[in-house]
Every structure is written in structure tokens, then in C-alpha cells.
Structure 1
Amino acid sequence: MRVKICGITNLKDALDAVEAGANALGFVFYEKSPRYIDPLEARKIVDLLPPFIQAVGLFVNESSKHINDICKVSNMQLAQIIDDKDNTDFDNLNIKYIEVVRAKSKEDIQNLDKNSYYLVDAFVQEFGGAGKRVALEWFDSIDCSKIILAGGLTSSNLKELKNYNFFAVDVSSGVESSKGKKDTEKMKEFMKSANEK
């Protein structure tokens, strides 16, 4: 199973995540987040990553120009966008992107465009890394092959996803020792569980 480890704030955590087997690393460019990283600091980390590891920038209710500018400075390859306030003009983005759906009900998932990829997270008032889970039964009878699941995932509950065929999973708080600091052993355990699926 593909795994993105989000909320990377330092080089050691990034390299430990790659060593554990992560396919992608997430960098939070939402300034109110405890996992926020300055774009130039993110660039220093990204420039030292090995090949085939995707760098993903997380944005919350930002303009297309802002997203384009930050992704260029930080050398992101994908933008992960929460756009609750319709601030983003997706047609004007210069970078590949994935929309985040903060699901409040099963209908939010049923109404997704079947031809697009989405990251689905549980709705919480704050943005990201809250550890709240989406109700798995909302995905019953839904094709999950283009859905990346986030929210409240840990090495111990990954096995519950076995029958859903998610494209990937996204973890942040589930592999941390504190907000913004990853736990190497938790990352290894998470990747081990993901690969057992």
C-alpha cells in the first residue's frame, strides 16, 4: 500500500520516513499549524531526498498564485489543497494537485467525481493532524481505488482497511512523538503494517 507521511518539519524525520519506506512526504504550508514549515526550509529538505520520493505541499484556502509561488520556491511536485472557501482557481495552477475532501457524511464521498483522485479526511474544525477517523462504513459499496484515506490512522488500525482497496493512506499524528516531530519506530511499524495488507 502506498503511504504518505505528512507534517515533515526537519531533515532527520524526512530521511527516517524514507528509510521506513514512505512513498511521499507532506510539508504543511498552513501557518497556523504546529507542523508548519517555511518554504525555504522545506526546499532544503526536498533537495536532499532520494529519487522517486514525492514532495507534497499542503495548502488551506489559498489563492492559485500563492500555491504556485510556494510550490516553486519549495520544489514541491504535488499540491494537496483544502479549499473550503473557494479561494483556489484550480485552472490557474501550474502544478499537479489533489483536492482534500473533509467528509462530514457518506454523501460527501458518494458525490465525488469517479474519474478524479481525492484525499478524504475526517471533518474537524482545525486543519489536519487531529487524529480523527472517517467512518469506514461510509466507503461500503464505493470504489476506493482513487481515494487516499487520511485521519486517525495508526499501525494498529490499518488492517481494518484490508477490504476497501484505497489507492493510498496519509498519516501524520499517528507516527508522531509530539506535534511536528516524528517517531522513527512508529513510522517503521506503520510501514510494516501497510506492507502486510
Structure 2
Amino acid sequence: MRVKICGITNLQDALDAVNAGASALGFVFYKPSPRYINPIEALKIVENLPPFVQTVALFVNETTEFINEICQKTKMQLAQIIDDENIVDFSKLNIKYLKVLRVKNKESLENLKDEYYLIDAFVEEFGGAGKRVALEWFNDMDCYKYILAGGLSCENLKELKGYGFFGVDVSSAVEKEKGKKDKQKMIDFVKVAHEIA
């Protein structure tokens, strides 16, 4: 199972995440977030990463132009997009993207297109709230294109076994404080994720 560690704000945390076995690193370009990183600092980190690590830019209700500009400036490989306000013209993005679904109920997961989604629990704020999606909503569903986020930790990760999720996304559960990662927590989380894959 692939693991994305989100909310990277410094090079040491990025390298520790990679060494822990993360497949992808997430950078938050949403200013109200305590994990926000400015594009200049993000680029410095990206340019010092080893190969075979995917860099992901997180956006919340931003314009198509803004997403294209930031991804180009920071050399991001993927845009992870919360578009609750339907601002984005996905056909005009210059970068590969992943839509985020913030689900309130099982019905939110019905009639989805056959594409990859990051699925998170709906909360009023954006990101790092630690709220979980009800796993029973995924019973009898094919989850191989879903990346699960929200409220995941070493303690509850094993509950995902058998669902076949493509990957998981973690932020607050591997932090020692908001915006600062804990090396051992990242190691432990990735280890459990790989054990249940």
C-alpha cells in the first residue's frame, strides 16, 4: 500500500519521510493551514529530494491559473485538489491531478467515475482534523483506486486490511506538533501500512 505523508514544511522532515518509506510527500499551499509552506521554501525541498519520490501540491478552492503557476514554480508532480466551490477548470490544468472527495455519507461514494480519488471525511476546516471516514461505507466496494485520508494512525490502520485501498494519506498522526513531523511515528506508520497491503 502506498503512503503519502502530507504537510511537509522542512527538508529534514521530507528526508525522514522518504527514509521511512513514504511513496509521496504533500505540500500544503493553503495559507490558513498551520502546515502551509510558501512556494520558495517548497522548491528548496523538492530540489533536494532523492529520485522516485512523488511530490504533491495540495490546494483548497483555488483557481486553475493559481494551481498551474504554483506547480510550475515548485516543480510539483501532482496537484491534489479540494474544489468544493467548483472553481477549477480541470481541462486547463498543466499538471496531473487528484480530486479530493470530502464525504459526509455513503451516498457520496456512489456513481463515481472510474478514476483515482483521495477520500477524506468532511469537516468544516480543511485538513489535519483527525476525523475518520466510516469504513463500513466501503463494504462491498472496489477500493483499488481510492486513497484514504483522515484520522488514520498506527493504531487503526490495521482495520483497513482487506479493503484493497490504493493508498493512505497521513499528516497529524505522524507529527510531534503541527507542521513538524516525528521521525519514529512516520517509520511506524509506513511499516504498518506495508504490512496490511
- Same fold per TM (> 0.5)? yes
Deviation, 1:171, is: 0.3
- Cα distance in 2 between the residues matched to 1:122 and 1:167: 17
Deviation, 1:37, is: 0.1
State the Cα deviation string for residues 16-49 of structure 1 (Å, max 9, x = none): 0000000000000000100000011000000111
Query: 2:164 is matched by which residue type in structure 1?
Result: N
Counting aligned pairs with the same residue, the percent is 68
Structure 1: which 5+ residue stretches go unaligned?
none
- Cα distance in 2 between the residues matched to 1:195 and 1:170: 13
In the TM superposition, structure 1's runs of 4+ consecutive aligned residues that sit over 4 Å from their partners are: none
* Paired position in structure 2 for 1:53: 53
State the Cα deviation string for residues 132-168 of structure 1 (Å, max 9, x = none): 0000000011110000000000111111000100000
Matched ranges for 1:1-197 at <5 A? 1-113=1-113, 115-197=114-196
- Cα distance in 2 between the residues matched to 1:181 and 1:66: 26
Deviation, 1:110, is: 1.7
SS across alignment from 1:81? strand
Deviation, 1:123, is: 0.2
Deviation, 1:192, is: 1.0
State the superposition RMSD in angstroms.
0.6
Deviation, 1:195, is: 1.4
- Cα distance in 2 between the residues matched to 1:161 and 1:132: 15
Deviation, 1:111, is: 2.6
State the Cα deviation string for residues 59-81 of structure 1 (Å, max 9, x = none): 00011100000000011000000
Larger mean Cα displacement after TM superposition, 51-60 or 104-113: 104-113
Query: 1:88 is matched by which residue type in structure 2?
Result: V
Larger mean Cα displacement after TM superposition, 104-113 or 43-52: 104-113
- For normalisation by structure 1, the TM-score amounts to 0.98
Contact 1:64 1:93 in 2 (8 A): yes
Contact 1:110 1:142 in 2 (8 A): no
Query: 1:168 is matched by which residue type in structure 2?
Result: G
Query: 1:183 is matched by which residue type in structure 2?
Result: D
Structure 2: which 5+ residue stretches go unaligned?
none
